[in-house]
Structure 1
Amino acid sequence: MEKSKTGKYLKYAIGEIILVMIGILLALQVNNWNERRKDRIREQVILKQLQEDYQANLIQLEEKMTTRDRIIYSAMQLLKAFDQPAGVIRDSLVKELANAFHDPTYDPIENDLTSSGNLILIRNHKLKRLLSNWSSDVVGVREIETTWSNSVNGEFDLILSELGLGRDVSNSFMNDSQHLWLLDHNQESYKIEVGTSKLGAPLNEILSSRKLEGIVGSAITLNKAANLQSEALRLRILEILDLIKSELKK
């Protein structure tokens, strides 16, 4: 009888242990499910914010590309003036100079997913990789932009000073050029009548400047290169947005 009671107690104890273990496993399962649900909610919030950020990045990038296309066009017109100076109007030349020497710089919204640890919440591996590589992808555009910006704010300014065209170009820049970099594209409060200089070089001297012709050529080369890099970046943004859209539908 003692053996029978011991056996019953042992079976009862084992049963209790099994029930406790099942309870613990169920609790862990429920907790894991709840944590995954919270992660999915957090992921959706992050994806929606990323969608807004990369849509803004796309708009800004396309505006910079449009500005560079205008730079290239004006630079081509200037080279034509150098090649065929007959019939060139000085005011038109100054306007093309003002348009050709914008220095657009791309300044996208950067995500901090890696540093914040939120990148792990993104389940789509391809999207995660593209987001992780974003900063390095932007570098290719910025490097070319920096080279051109240094030329504009250094060499070009010196050439304008030598030719006495600083005031004329500034006046055209403030009143004739389109400025897509303004937050409000329709804003015209930036306009100010600087006037033209009486000390500027005559047309034939302007079109005889080797330095000016050289930097105009650089304007075409560098801005075309920046736009080629930007086009690759634009396609990358579109790919990111498509992946985000597909993940938001899940």
Structure 2
Amino acid sequence: MIKFFRRIRQKLLTENKFSKYFLYAIGEIVLVVIGILIALQINNANEERKTRRAERSYLVRLVEDLEENKGLWSERYTIEENRLKAANAFINYSFNEDKDAIKNVIPYFNSVSTWEDLHINQVTFKEMVSSGNFDLISNDSIKFKLQNLEKTYQTILNRWDTTKKNLLEVLSDIIIKKVNFLYSYPIDPSHKQILSKNFTQAEKEYYFSEIMKQFKVLFDDPLFMNIMTLINTNAPLDLKEYKQAEEQVTELINLIKADLKTDN
């Protein structure tokens, strides 16, 4: 092709057709420019496809993380709701003159005495931010909602850290010091395989009465009841934030899935 254009130029020059040569030269330049523009456009299109593939990969992973967190917030809401119910049951018991009613509140005990740490899946989001790839997200609404969700997470994590240190860890320490759970083994059928001795009904009733005495002492402890009061005070806000996080996550999942569908 290059030789073809060269022969045309040489022929026009030898025939002294300078005006035609000039027009031809301009035309050739235009063709070269058009070729360059087409090449640039193709290259840009290729780069855009590569960028979109990378963005899509992140979006798919974000959905997976968000789906996991959606389940987390639903679970945490239920846990905190049960903790609040337990605290309220203990507060009501403390004002009850019939102390034998303790049998009615013991089933709530697990809800305040056990807790798991809070682990939010932010692997993909943090990877995008740390690698400088957050701007790969082309949908501004998705970026904005991801940033808002991060703020919600930080608020929840800060509150959880305070609750864990000032309430739950203190509560665990009080319970360990006040209640001898070894007494529960003879009266709990699930522990039968651990014990070599078969306890009589009278012995089971004795251990049951002993552990009930310890629970009564526990519920008379001002620090224990202060923690129940604080749980009662703090839980509504925790529940509100967990529900807010779940709603934000659900909205983000739907938004990202809609964005991914535009590729189909």
Rate the CA distance shift 1:158–1:57 in 2: closer, same or farther, 3 A. closer
Letter in 2 for 1:45: S
Tell me which residue corresponds to 2:166: 151
Report how far residue 17 of structure 1 moved: 1.3
- 1:97 lines up with 2:109 in the alignment: yes
Tell me which residue corresponds to 1:138: 153
Q: Is this contact kept in 2: 1:51–1:241, CA < 8 A?
A: yes
Q: Is this contact kept in 1: 2:179–2:215, CA < 8 A?
A: no
Letter in 2 for 1:61: W
Rate the CA distance shift 1:119–1:4 in 2: closer, same or farther, 3 A. same
CA distance in structure 2 between the aligned counterparts of 1:166 and 1:145, rounded to whole angstroms = 28
Letter in 2 for 1:53: D
Moved more, 120-129 or 8-17: 8-17
Report how far residue 204 of structure 1 moved: 4.6
CA distance in structure 2 between the aligned counterparts of 1:122 and 1:43, rounded to whole angstroms = 6
CA distance in structure 2 between the aligned counterparts of 1:128 and 1:159, rounded to whole angstroms = 45
Letter in 1 for 2:67: Q
CA distance in structure 2 between the aligned counterparts of 1:92 and 1:241, rounded to whole angstroms = 42
Give the alignment partner of residue 8 of structure 1, picking from 1, 6, 20: 20
CA distance in structure 1 between the aligned counterparts of 2:66 and 2:85, rounded to whole angstroms = 28
CA distance in structure 2 between the aligned counterparts of 1:57 and 1:199, rounded to whole angstroms = 39
Give the alignment partner of residue 247 of structure 2, picking from 211, 224, 235: 235
Q: Across the two proteins, how many residue pairs are aligned to each other?
A: 231
Tell me which residue corresponds to 1:167: 181
Tell me which residue corresponds to 1:23: 35
Report how far residue 236 of structure 1 moved: 0.9
Pairing 1:57-206 to 2, within 5 Å after superposition: 57-90=69-102, 93-110=105-122, 111=125, 112-162=127-177, 164-165=178-179, 167=181, 202=214, 204-206=216-218
Tell me which residue corresponds to 1:184: none
- 1:207 lines up with 2:222 in the alignment: no
CA distance in structure 2 between the aligned counterparts of 1:48 and 1:105, rounded to whole angstroms = 27
Kindly indicate which of the two structures has a greater share of residues assigned to helix: 2
Rate the CA distance shift 1:32–1:79 in 2: closer, same or farther, 3 A. same
Rate the CA distance shift 1:203–1:106 in 2: closer, same or farther, 3 A. closer
CA distance in structure 2 between the aligned counterparts of 1:203 and 1:45, rounded to whole angstroms = 54
Q: Is this contact kept in 1: 2:70–2:246, CA < 8 A?
A: yes
Rate the CA distance shift 1:62–1:79 in 2: closer, same or farther, 3 A. same
Instruction: Flag structure 2 segments of 5+ consecutive residues without an equivalent.
Output: 1-12, 196-203
Q: Percent same amino acid among aligned pairs?
A: 24
Letter in 1 for 2:41: Q
CA distance in structure 1 between the aligned counterparts of 2:35 and 2:95, rounded to whole angstroms = 87
Deviations 1:112-141 (A, max 9, x none): 222223322222111111123432220111
CA distance in structure 1 between the aligned counterparts of 2:103 and 2:79, rounded to whole angstroms = 21
CA distance in structure 2 between the aligned counterparts of 1:133 and 1:115, rounded to whole angstroms = 17
Question: TM-score scaled to structure 1, two decimals?
Answer: 0.78
CA distance in structure 2 between the aligned counterparts of 1:13 and 1:71, rounded to whole angstroms = 85
